[in-house]
Structure 1
Amino acid sequence: MVPPLTEAETVPRLPLPSRNPLPLSASQEAQVRELYHSRVRSYCAAEIKLFADCALGRTFTAPFKCRTQNRSMNNCMIAHATPAEQDAAREEWFATRLERQREREKREERRKEQEKFHREWWGLPAEDREGEKGREVMRKAERVGGFPRRDDGQLSKDRHR
Protein backbone atom coordinates (compact mmCIF):
# COMPACT_ATOMS: atom_id res chain seq x y z
CA MET A 1 0.00 0.00 0.00
CA VAL A 2 1.54 3.31 -1.11
CA PRO A 3 0.65 6.41 0.88
CA PRO A 4 -1.34 9.09 -0.99
CA LEU A 5 0.45 12.02 -2.59
CA THR A 6 1.02 14.90 -0.23
CA GLU A 7 1.42 18.60 -0.75
CA ALA A 8 5.19 18.20 -0.47
CA GLU A 9 5.29 15.88 -3.48
CA THR A 10 3.86 18.56 -5.77
CA VAL A 11 6.97 20.71 -5.22
CA PRO A 12 9.55 20.36 -8.01
CA ARG A 13 12.27 17.92 -7.08
CA LEU A 14 15.93 17.87 -7.88
CA PRO A 15 17.38 14.65 -9.22
CA LEU A 16 19.60 12.54 -7.02
CA PRO A 17 23.15 13.82 -7.61
CA SER A 18 24.54 10.30 -8.03
CA ARG A 19 23.87 6.79 -6.81
CA ASN A 20 26.63 7.23 -4.21
CA PRO A 21 26.44 10.88 -3.10
CA LEU A 22 28.88 12.46 -0.72
CA PRO A 23 28.48 11.38 2.89
CA LEU A 24 25.86 13.32 4.77
CA SER A 25 26.38 14.99 8.11
CA ALA A 26 25.03 13.35 11.25
CA SER A 27 21.98 15.64 11.34
CA GLN A 28 21.27 14.98 7.66
CA GLU A 29 21.55 11.23 8.23
CA ALA A 30 19.13 11.60 11.14
CA GLN A 31 16.68 13.38 8.83
CA VAL A 32 16.99 10.57 6.26
CA ARG A 33 16.50 7.97 9.02
CA GLU A 34 13.40 9.79 10.32
CA LEU A 35 11.98 9.91 6.80
CA TYR A 36 12.73 6.19 6.39
CA HIS A 37 11.01 5.29 9.67
CA SER A 38 7.97 7.43 8.89
CA ARG A 39 7.64 5.73 5.49
CA VAL A 40 7.77 2.28 7.11
CA ARG A 41 5.26 3.35 9.77
CA SER A 42 2.92 4.64 7.07
CA TYR A 43 2.92 1.21 5.38
CA CYS A 44 2.05 -0.51 8.68
CA ALA A 45 -0.39 2.08 10.05
CA ALA A 46 -3.28 -0.41 10.34
CA GLU A 47 -1.23 -2.96 12.31
CA ILE A 48 0.17 -0.23 14.57
CA LYS A 49 -3.37 1.03 15.24
CA LEU A 50 -4.58 -2.47 16.16
CA PHE A 51 -1.72 -2.94 18.61
CA ALA A 52 -2.22 0.52 20.12
CA ASP A 53 -5.95 -0.13 20.59
CA CYS A 54 -5.19 -3.43 22.31
CA ALA A 55 -2.49 -1.94 24.56
CA LEU A 56 -4.62 1.04 25.57
CA GLY A 57 -5.14 1.03 29.33
CA ARG A 58 -2.68 -1.80 29.94
CA THR A 59 0.76 -1.54 31.47
CA PHE A 60 3.06 -4.52 31.87
CA THR A 61 0.38 -6.97 30.65
CA ALA A 62 0.28 -5.46 27.13
CA PRO A 63 2.98 -7.74 25.65
CA PHE A 64 1.11 -10.82 26.89
CA LYS A 65 -2.47 -9.80 26.09
CA CYS A 66 -1.62 -8.23 22.72
CA ARG A 67 0.96 -10.74 21.52
CA THR A 68 -0.73 -11.45 18.15
CA GLN A 69 -1.17 -7.75 17.31
CA ASN A 70 2.42 -7.07 18.38
CA ARG A 71 3.75 -9.86 16.16
CA SER A 72 1.72 -8.76 13.17
CA MET A 73 2.93 -5.17 13.64
CA ASN A 74 6.57 -6.27 13.95
CA ASN A 75 6.31 -8.60 10.95
CA CYS A 76 4.87 -5.81 8.84
CA MET A 77 7.61 -3.40 9.87
CA ILE A 78 10.33 -5.98 9.25
CA ALA A 79 8.87 -6.74 5.81
CA HIS A 80 8.91 -3.07 4.82
CA ALA A 81 12.18 -2.08 6.52
CA THR A 82 14.43 -3.01 3.62
CA PRO A 83 17.57 -1.47 2.13
CA ALA A 84 15.48 -0.57 -0.92
CA GLU A 85 13.17 1.47 1.32
CA GLN A 86 16.22 3.16 2.87
CA ASP A 87 17.44 4.09 -0.61
CA ALA A 88 13.99 5.43 -1.48
CA ALA A 89 13.99 7.57 1.67
CA ARG A 90 17.46 8.89 0.83
CA GLU A 91 16.33 9.74 -2.71
CA GLU A 92 13.25 11.51 -1.35
CA TRP A 93 15.44 13.48 1.06
CA PHE A 94 17.68 14.62 -1.79
CA ALA A 95 14.67 15.40 -3.97
CA THR A 96 13.12 17.72 -1.38
CA ARG A 97 16.23 19.89 -0.97
CA LEU A 98 14.58 22.84 -2.74
CA GLU A 99 11.57 22.74 -0.44
CA ARG A 100 13.73 22.69 2.69
CA GLN A 101 15.80 25.57 1.32
CA ARG A 102 12.64 27.64 0.75
CA GLU A 103 11.48 26.89 4.29
CA ARG A 104 14.84 28.01 5.70
CA GLU A 105 14.66 31.25 3.69
CA LYS A 106 11.11 31.93 4.95
CA ARG A 107 12.19 31.34 8.56
CA GLU A 108 15.18 33.67 8.14
CA GLU A 109 12.96 36.38 6.61
CA ARG A 110 10.48 36.02 9.48
CA ARG A 111 13.32 36.22 12.02
CA LYS A 112 14.58 39.48 10.45
CA GLU A 113 11.07 40.98 10.50
CA GLN A 114 10.70 40.10 14.18
CA GLU A 115 14.11 41.55 14.99
CA LYS A 116 13.22 44.79 13.18
CA PHE A 117 9.92 45.01 15.10
CA HIS A 118 11.77 44.36 18.36
CA ARG A 119 14.23 47.17 17.69
CA GLU A 120 11.44 49.61 16.81
CA TRP A 121 9.29 48.63 19.77
CA TRP A 122 11.98 48.93 22.42
CA GLY A 123 13.50 52.09 20.95
CA LEU A 124 16.98 50.73 20.53
CA PRO A 125 19.89 52.98 19.43
CA ALA A 126 19.16 55.52 16.68
CA GLU A 127 21.07 53.63 13.98
CA ASP A 128 18.91 50.57 14.73
CA ARG A 129 15.58 52.41 14.69
CA GLU A 130 13.48 52.15 11.58
CA GLY A 131 9.87 52.71 10.72
CA GLU A 132 7.16 54.83 12.33
CA LYS A 133 7.74 53.57 15.89
CA GLY A 134 11.42 54.51 15.70
CA ARG A 135 10.66 58.02 14.38
CA GLU A 136 8.03 58.51 17.10
CA VAL A 137 10.53 57.62 19.83
CA MET A 138 13.05 60.07 18.35
CA ARG A 139 10.46 62.94 18.35
CA LYS A 140 9.49 62.55 22.00
CA ALA A 141 11.54 64.22 24.66
CA GLU A 142 13.13 61.77 27.03
CA ARG A 143 11.67 61.75 30.54
CA VAL A 144 14.19 62.01 33.30
CA GLY A 145 13.24 60.62 36.67
CA GLY A 146 10.60 58.16 35.58
CA PHE A 147 6.85 58.49 36.10
CA PRO A 148 5.30 61.42 38.03
CA ARG A 149 4.47 60.63 41.61
CA ARG A 150 0.75 60.45 42.29
CA ASP A 151 1.07 60.00 46.02
CA ASP A 152 3.08 63.15 46.86
CA GLY A 153 2.60 64.07 50.48
CA GLN A 154 1.00 60.74 51.40
CA LEU A 155 2.50 58.09 53.58
CA SER A 156 3.47 54.92 51.84
CA LYS A 157 1.28 51.86 52.27
CA ASP A 158 3.88 50.21 54.44
CA ARG A 159 3.84 53.11 56.93
CA HIS A 160 0.09 52.85 57.54
CA ARG A 161 0.46 49.56 59.36
Structure 2
Amino acid sequence: MAAPNPNGGGGDDVALPMPSRNPLPLSASQEAQIRDIYHARVRDACAPEIKAFADCALNRTFTVSFVCREQLRAMNGCMKTHATPAAHDAAREEWFAKRLERQKERERKAVKKAQQEDFIREWWGLPEKDAETRRKEEEKMRMTERIGGYAARDRKRWEEEQAAAATATAAAAASGKR
Protein backbone atom coordinates (compact mmCIF):
# COMPACT_ATOMS: atom_id res chain seq x y z
CA MET A 1 0.00 0.00 0.00
CA ALA A 2 1.96 2.98 -1.26
CA ALA A 3 1.08 6.54 -0.44
CA PRO A 4 0.11 8.64 -3.44
CA ASN A 5 2.77 10.93 -4.78
CA PRO A 6 1.96 14.37 -3.29
CA ASN A 7 3.68 16.12 -6.19
CA GLY A 8 1.12 14.67 -8.58
CA GLY A 9 3.63 13.82 -11.32
CA GLY A 10 4.45 10.28 -12.23
CA GLY A 11 8.25 10.64 -12.23
CA ASP A 12 10.90 8.19 -11.15
CA ASP A 13 10.18 8.92 -7.49
CA VAL A 14 9.50 5.83 -5.40
CA ALA A 15 6.86 6.52 -2.78
CA LEU A 16 7.44 4.89 0.57
CA PRO A 17 4.35 3.58 2.33
CA MET A 18 2.58 5.65 4.95
CA PRO A 19 2.76 3.39 8.02
CA SER A 20 -0.66 4.38 9.38
CA ARG A 21 -2.66 7.42 10.42
CA ASN A 22 -1.15 7.18 13.90
CA PRO A 23 2.18 5.44 13.46
CA LEU A 24 4.59 4.50 16.19
CA PRO A 25 5.63 7.47 18.27
CA LEU A 26 8.11 9.64 16.44
CA SER A 27 11.06 11.31 18.06
CA ALA A 28 10.66 14.84 19.36
CA SER A 29 12.64 16.29 16.45
CA GLN A 30 10.52 14.39 13.92
CA GLU A 31 7.31 15.65 15.54
CA ALA A 32 8.78 19.17 15.48
CA GLN A 33 9.42 18.83 11.74
CA ILE A 34 5.79 17.79 11.22
CA ARG A 35 4.60 20.74 13.32
CA ASP A 36 6.78 23.09 11.24
CA ILE A 37 5.14 21.85 8.04
CA TYR A 38 1.69 22.15 9.63
CA HIS A 39 2.25 25.69 10.93
CA ALA A 40 3.79 26.83 7.64
CA ARG A 41 0.71 25.62 5.77
CA VAL A 42 -1.61 27.46 8.17
CA ARG A 43 0.46 30.64 7.89
CA ASP A 44 0.43 30.41 4.10
CA ALA A 45 -3.34 29.99 4.06
CA CYS A 46 -3.86 32.98 6.38
CA ALA A 47 -1.11 35.23 5.01
CA PRO A 48 -3.40 38.17 4.06
CA GLU A 49 -5.03 38.24 7.51
CA ILE A 50 -1.67 38.00 9.26
CA LYS A 51 -0.30 40.80 7.07
CA ALA A 52 -3.32 43.01 7.82
CA PHE A 53 -2.88 42.50 11.57
CA ALA A 54 0.88 43.11 11.38
CA ASP A 55 0.32 46.34 9.42
CA CYS A 56 -2.23 47.50 12.00
CA ALA A 57 0.01 46.57 14.95
CA LEU A 58 3.07 48.32 13.53
CA ASN A 59 4.37 51.04 15.91
CA ARG A 60 1.69 50.32 18.50
CA THR A 61 2.21 48.94 21.96
CA PHE A 62 -0.59 49.15 24.51
CA THR A 63 -3.33 50.10 22.05
CA VAL A 64 -2.89 47.07 19.75
CA SER A 65 -5.56 45.05 21.52
CA PHE A 66 -8.09 47.89 21.16
CA VAL A 67 -7.31 49.36 17.75
CA CYS A 68 -6.57 46.12 15.87
CA ARG A 69 -9.30 43.97 17.39
CA GLU A 70 -11.07 43.31 14.06
CA GLN A 71 -7.85 42.29 12.30
CA LEU A 72 -6.88 40.09 15.24
CA ARG A 73 -10.25 38.33 15.22
CA ALA A 74 -10.07 37.84 11.45
CA MET A 75 -6.56 36.39 11.76
CA ASN A 76 -7.50 34.08 14.65
CA GLY A 77 -10.67 32.95 12.88
CA CYS A 78 -8.71 32.11 9.75
CA MET A 79 -6.12 30.19 11.73
CA LYS A 80 -8.81 28.25 13.61
CA THR A 81 -10.51 27.23 10.37
CA HIS A 82 -7.26 26.07 8.77
CA ALA A 83 -5.61 24.50 11.84
CA THR A 84 -7.56 21.25 11.90
CA PRO A 85 -6.63 17.65 12.72
CA ALA A 86 -7.05 16.87 9.01
CA ALA A 87 -4.44 19.52 8.18
CA HIS A 88 -2.11 18.00 10.78
CA ASP A 89 -2.63 14.54 9.24
CA ALA A 90 -1.87 16.00 5.81
CA ALA A 91 1.36 17.51 7.17
CA ARG A 92 2.28 14.13 8.69
CA GLU A 93 1.64 12.40 5.35
CA GLU A 94 3.78 14.98 3.55
CA TRP A 95 6.58 14.39 6.06
CA PHE A 96 6.41 10.62 5.46
CA ALA A 97 6.30 11.17 1.69
CA LYS A 98 9.53 13.15 1.85
CA ARG A 99 11.46 10.46 3.75
CA LEU A 100 13.21 9.24 0.62
CA GLU A 101 14.18 12.79 -0.35
CA ARG A 102 15.68 13.43 3.10
CA GLN A 103 17.60 10.16 2.95
CA LYS A 104 19.11 11.08 -0.43
CA GLU A 105 20.08 14.50 0.95
CA ARG A 106 21.82 12.86 3.94
CA GLU A 107 23.69 10.53 1.59
CA ARG A 108 24.84 13.46 -0.56
CA LYS A 109 26.09 15.30 2.52
CA ALA A 110 27.91 12.22 3.81
CA VAL A 111 29.63 11.67 0.45
CA LYS A 112 30.67 15.32 0.33
CA LYS A 113 31.99 15.12 3.89
CA ALA A 114 34.01 12.00 3.05
CA GLN A 115 35.48 13.69 -0.02
CA GLN A 116 36.46 16.74 2.02
CA GLU A 117 38.09 14.55 4.68
CA ASP A 118 40.04 12.68 1.99
CA PHE A 119 41.18 15.97 0.48
CA ILE A 120 42.34 17.32 3.85
CA ARG A 121 44.17 14.07 4.64
CA GLU A 122 45.88 14.18 1.26
CA TRP A 123 46.69 17.88 1.52
CA TRP A 124 48.25 17.65 4.97
CA GLY A 125 49.76 14.21 4.46
CA LEU A 126 47.76 12.62 7.26
CA PRO A 127 47.41 8.83 7.46
CA GLU A 128 44.37 7.21 5.86
CA LYS A 129 41.43 6.11 7.99
CA ASP A 130 41.42 2.48 8.87
CA ALA A 131 39.07 0.29 6.85
CA GLU A 132 36.83 -0.54 9.82
CA THR A 133 36.06 3.12 10.58
CA ARG A 134 35.35 3.85 6.93
CA ARG A 135 33.08 0.78 6.67
CA LYS A 136 31.09 1.85 9.75
CA GLU A 137 30.60 5.37 8.37
CA GLU A 138 29.42 4.02 5.01
CA GLU A 139 27.05 1.62 6.77
CA LYS A 140 25.64 4.45 8.88
CA MET A 141 25.20 6.55 5.75
CA ARG A 142 23.07 3.82 4.13
CA MET A 143 20.78 3.43 7.15
CA THR A 144 17.23 4.61 6.68
CA GLU A 145 15.51 7.16 8.86
CA ARG A 146 14.26 5.60 12.07
CA ILE A 147 10.54 5.88 12.69
CA GLY A 148 9.36 5.03 16.15
CA GLY A 149 11.43 4.81 19.26
CA TYR A 150 13.72 2.09 20.44
CA ALA A 151 12.11 -0.59 22.58
CA ALA A 152 13.28 -0.89 26.15
CA ARG A 153 15.68 -3.77 26.68
CA ASP A 154 13.71 -5.24 29.57
CA ARG A 155 10.31 -4.90 27.89
CA LYS A 156 8.74 -8.03 26.43
CA ARG A 157 8.11 -7.98 22.72
CA TRP A 158 4.67 -8.81 21.33
CA GLU A 159 5.98 -11.82 19.41
CA GLU A 160 7.63 -13.19 22.55
CA GLU A 161 4.42 -12.78 24.54
CA GLN A 162 2.42 -14.57 21.84
CA ALA A 163 4.93 -17.43 21.72
CA ALA A 164 4.89 -17.74 25.54
CA ALA A 165 1.08 -17.76 25.57
CA ALA A 166 0.99 -20.41 22.84
CA THR A 167 3.41 -22.67 24.71
CA ALA A 168 1.47 -22.18 27.96
CA THR A 169 -1.79 -23.06 26.18
CA ALA A 170 -0.20 -26.11 24.59
CA ALA A 171 1.23 -27.23 27.94
CA ALA A 172 -2.14 -26.76 29.67
CA ALA A 173 -3.90 -28.71 26.91
CA ALA A 174 -1.35 -31.51 27.12
CA SER A 175 -1.64 -31.77 30.91
CA GLY A 176 -5.46 -31.70 30.72
CA LYS A 177 -5.58 -34.68 28.35
CA ARG A 178 -3.57 -36.91 30.68
Q: TM-score, normalised by structure 1?
A: 0.65
Q: Amino acid of the residue matched to residue 69 of structure 1?
A: Q
Q: Which runs of 5+ in 1 are unaligned?
A: 1-7, 129-161
CA deviation vs aligned residue, 1:104-145 (integer Å, no higher than 9, x gap): 111112222222233233x142446xxxxxxxxxxxxxxxxx
Do 2:21 and 2:89's aligned partners in 1 also have CA atoms closer than 8 Å? Answer: no
Partner SS, residue 19 of structure 2: coil
Partner of 1:116: 118
Partner of 1:97: 99
For CA contacts below 8 A with separation 6 or more, give which structure has more relative contact order: 2
- After TM superposition, give the deviation of residue 53 of structure 1 in Å: 1.6
Q: Amino acid of the residue matched to residue 125 of structure 1?
A: L
Give, in whole Å, the separation in 2 of the partners of 1:14 and 1:82.
25
Partner SS, residue 61 of structure 2: coil
Partner of 2:50: 48
- C-alpha change, 1:16 and 1:68, in structure 2 (3 Å) is same
Partner SS, residue 27 of structure 1: helix
Structure whose CA Rg is larger: 1
Between the two proteins, the alignment pairs up a number of residues equal to: 120
Give, in whole Å, the separation in 1 of the partners of 2:63 and 2:121.
57
- After TM superposition, give the deviation of residue 57 of structure 1 in Å: 2.6
- C-alpha change, 1:127 and 1:27, in structure 2 (3 Å) is closer
Do 2:37 and 2:91's aligned partners in 1 also have CA atoms closer than 8 Å? Answer: yes
Partner of 1:72: 74
Q: TM-score, normalised by structure 2?
A: 0.60
Q: Which runs of 5+ in 2 are unaligned?
A: 1-5, 130-178
Residue correspondence of structure 1 range 13-52 to structure 2 within 5 A: 13-52=15-54
Give, in whole Å, the separation in 1 of the partners of 2:120 and 2:78.
52
Give, in whole Å, the separation in 2 of the partners of 1:53 and 1:111.
45
- Point out the more displaced range, 70-79 or 14-23: 14-23
2:89 corresponds to 1:125 = no
Partner of 1:61: 63
